[in-house]
Structure 1
Amino acid sequence: MMVYSGDFLRCRLATKAALVLPQLLPATTVQGVWTALIIAAAAGLWSERTRIGKELSGPLVSTLIGLLFSNLGLVGGANAGTVYDTVNKFILPLAIPLLLYSADLRRVFKETGRLLIAFIIGAFATVVGTIAAFKLVPLAALGAQDSWKIASALAARHIGGAINYVAVAETLQVSPSAQMAGLAADNLLCAVYFTTIFNLARKIPPESASMSQASNGGKASSEGIQVLEATTGIALSAILCYLGQQLAVAIGFPSASISIITLLTVALATVFPDQLKPLVASSEGIAFILLQIFFAAVGASGEIKAVLTTAPSLFLFCFLQIAIHLGIILGVGRAAGFARKDLLLASNANVGGPSTAGGMAAAKGWQSLLVPALLIGTFGYSCATFVALVLGTTVLRGMVVV
């Protein structure tokens, strides 16, 4: 009978445990990196049920969790870059058509009335605000190339919503750290912005119809994901992505694939709105999940030092950009005879997109403006990328001080 000393026994047990249990952290395998990104994505969506999460927004929370995972050494290794590349080249493009199946431009022009004009005023105000803010805060910390590109992406963000920020940043090939810093600064500022516009709307009464009736206008988008419709939407999105990427290569501008995918989807939604309508609710649900994974990947590929260096100037830039936007749309709109609720909803659609604009219309009981708010927000999705790319390449790039 063999007798083991205490130290020898502990050594044998530790060796056996090491053989049985694989190394879980840091997560360096492909599966491990994907697991970390999906956890960050889910945590971001869950956080929106909390007060702090609502103020920060799900995308920002997912981005920050991804940033912490990476910079604390919990995820990384040679496989991480491969996963992030897959997210950027496949997951992100796949999400864009899924968000745009309701982008019927004929319906936008037919049903939005004066709200569309207010939205266009808001888009113009964002362009003016971007130029003025870039002049006052040139974002030198980002470098000569990334500075005007991030300013362009933020212009897209405040003309049509977050998806346009992503599209412009990818088209212009902005560095991951700069993308992360811009996203973090903008999301923090947007929390202040949404608080401000709801405060400006506090004295505007609801319409005579009940708030419950108003909120029913968005019922279709909350019915849940239907398997067949979701699968069909994903398949169609994959086809559009493949065509868009092939066309981008054919014209010699591969980085423009997202812009071409957007154009193809909007054209399809305008020509075949009835055929795409059943796909909208389920496809949007899938798109939001895919985008959360993208935001987590943006965070995981960033560096805290770079973010801390550039975020203060970006926050000031965003503050000036949105402040000028809000001042112009309220001032010009009032002079043109627009109601304040029209202007606030149009501004909300510019900065937040259809979901926040529709949510504000429902929450305030502005029943007649619910569908128009959703439509102009979708219109912003479809056009903001192109407006911002023109602004960046023709104006902002020329303002860079080398």
Structure 2
Amino acid sequence: MENTLIKADDLITLWGIIVVWAAVSIYLEQRFTWASKISGAIIALVGAIILSNTGVIPTDSPVYDAIWAFIIPLAIPLLLFHVNFKKIWQESGRMLIIFLISSIGTVAGTIISFFLLKDHIPYLDKIGGMMSASYVGGGVNFAAMAGKFETPGEMVSSTIVADNLMMALYFVVLMTIPAMSFFRKRFKHPHVLEVEAEKGKNEGKTLAEGFWARKEISLKDMALSVGTAFFLVIIAFKLAAFLDGIIPSGEDVSFFINLLNGLFGDKYLILTTITFIALALFPRYFESINGSQEIGTLLIYLFFVVIGVPASIPMIIQNAPLLLVFVAVIVLVNMLVSLTAGKLLKYNLEEILLVSNANIGGPTTAAAMAIAKGWKNLIGPILVVGTLGYIIGNYIGTTLGLWFATML
């Protein structure tokens, strides 16, 4: 057990710290102009990094697992209740191409990083396979490749720490870019302008406070929002588990069958799809519910805190500083390829940043970023497009891992 001030099994205190710090982050963002420019999401994330790296809270706890298991699934439908349903499909089609190009950036970055460091990091063929799969898909792909290549446990642990720190740092970078004049001058950013125009209507307030103006909300609204979200999560997760059980997967079946399993067995994609179907079938019901966006955003802020917790700087310095360099090169190349291709193909800055986020962190972190930035019409599309990474990630990781093994 870690030697921290708050122990991993002190569940109520850890829950309290997460919720209180999320509340502080939201308050600061809405109260002070400087915090509004930084964004509450970054304040939440950086605060968690500081707390975990100064020994106040542990880097691993059942509380953090609960955030991933319960809070994120609930937040997703809540935040989709009031999206523009028609725009979701239009934006999904647009973002698919840039997402695939961004995935090519991950592959290129992994290859470059492998050749730079293959003589300095042991088992880099296996780690390269794991990270390329993870930085196209997500944690599911990382775990699958770690098992497939039988990577030694200590290398898996060190790579996870490097990945967590890199992801947290990259999230801060991606959240900061839309406010930088360098990028705003060179890329179209209609979603940023839309949010700023909305916020600008409320004079004398910070942009965040203006955007999250007080609304009429009743006990019935809160009950229906949370109750409906829970209902959709239960249906989606049960259906995904059932489909995952009856559709085979693995090396013994064809690419097409694996693709079907990846599509219909993924609980987040099924959840998003079922929420879309419900929105299409019962539009008046969802339009009548107030407060779902506010509740969902509060839940996402708990997620922002948890993202920063595992980013242990001392563990990286002590165990594997070169692994941080390895993943940093992959992320840098992914970012450069995404921005360059996005610029040439005339994509919006928001779309480019979200697909890069979806590659590196997965669709949930990309959706969280869209939520934090107020890019409502991009939340659904990035969840749909980002889930594709889970499907193709294992194929990319396997191919690169086997190829790298021939060079060591």
TM range (shorter): 0.5 to 0.7
> CA separation of 1:121/1:181 partners in 2, compared to 1, >3 Å: closer, same or farther?
closer
1:241 counterpart SS class: helix
Q: 1:228 aligns with which of 205, 217, 224?
A: 224
Contact 1:112-1:376 within 8 A present in 2 as well: yes
CA shift for structure 1 position 261: 1.1
> CA separation of 1:166/1:284 partners in 2, compared to 1, >3 Å: closer, same or farther?
farther
Q: 1:179 aligns with which of 150, 156, 160?
A: 160
Specify the code of the residue in structure 1 equivalent to 2:315: A
> CA separation of 1:266/1:319 partners in 2, compared to 1, >3 Å: closer, same or farther?
same
Aligned to 1:122: 102
Q: 2:73 aligns with which of 97, 118, 130?
A: 97
Once the two structures are superposed, residues 380-402 of structure 1 have per-residue CA deviations (whole angstroms, 9 ceiling, x without a partner) of 44333323333223334542566
Contact 2:165-2:310 within 8 A present in 1 as well: no
Aligned to 2:24: 46
Q: Please, which runs of 5 or more residues in structure 2 have no aligned partner?
A: 29-34, 148-155, 202-207, 251-261, 358-365
Aligned to 1:212: 197
1:378 counterpart SS class: helix
Report whether the alignment pairs 1:59 with 2:45.
yes
> CA separation of 1:268/1:258 partners in 2, compared to 1, >3 Å: closer, same or farther?
closer
Structure 2: how far apart are the matches of 1:385 and 1:211?
Answer: 33
Aligned to 1:385: 390
Aligned to 1:269: 275
CA shift for structure 1 position 234: 2.7
Q: 1:308 aligns with which of 310, 317, 336?
A: 317
2:185 counterpart SS class: coil
CA shift for structure 1 position 359: 6.5
> CA separation of 1:104/1:210 partners in 2, compared to 1, >3 Å: closer, same or farther?
closer
1:155 counterpart SS class: coil
Identity of aligned residues (%): 15
Once the two structures are superposed, residues 345-384 of structure 1 have per-residue CA deviations (whole angstroms, 9 ceiling, x without a partner) of 2221123424545776x7xxxxxxx555445433344333
1:399 counterpart SS class: helix
Where in structure 2 are the equivalents of 1:17-36 lying within 5 Å? 30=9, 32-36=10-14
Aligned to 1:10: none
Higher relative contact order (CA 8 A, sep 6+): 2
Contact 2:131-2:142 within 8 A present in 1 as well: yes
Q: What is the TM-score normalised by the length of structure 1? A: 0.62
> CA separation of 1:35/1:253 partners in 2, compared to 1, >3 Å: closer, same or farther?
farther
Q: Give the root-mean-square deviation of aligned CA atoms.
A: 4.9
Q: 1:153 aligns with which of 134, 142, 148?
A: 134
Q: What is the TM-score normalised by the length of structure 2? A: 0.61
Contact 2:95-2:382 within 8 A present in 1 as well: no
Q: 1:284 aligns with which of 296, 313, 319?
A: 296
CA shift for structure 1 position 325: 2.9
CA shift for structure 1 position 230: 1.8
Q: 1:328 aligns with which of 337, 353, 365?
A: 337
Specify the code of the residue in structure 1 equivalent to 2:13: T
Contact 1:330-1:343 within 8 A present in 2 as well: no
Q: Which moved more, 1:377-386 or 1:285-294?
A: 285-294
CA shift for structure 1 position 91: 4.1
1:316 counterpart SS class: helix
Structure 2: how far apart are the matches of 1:244 and 1:66?
Answer: 34
Aligned length: 342
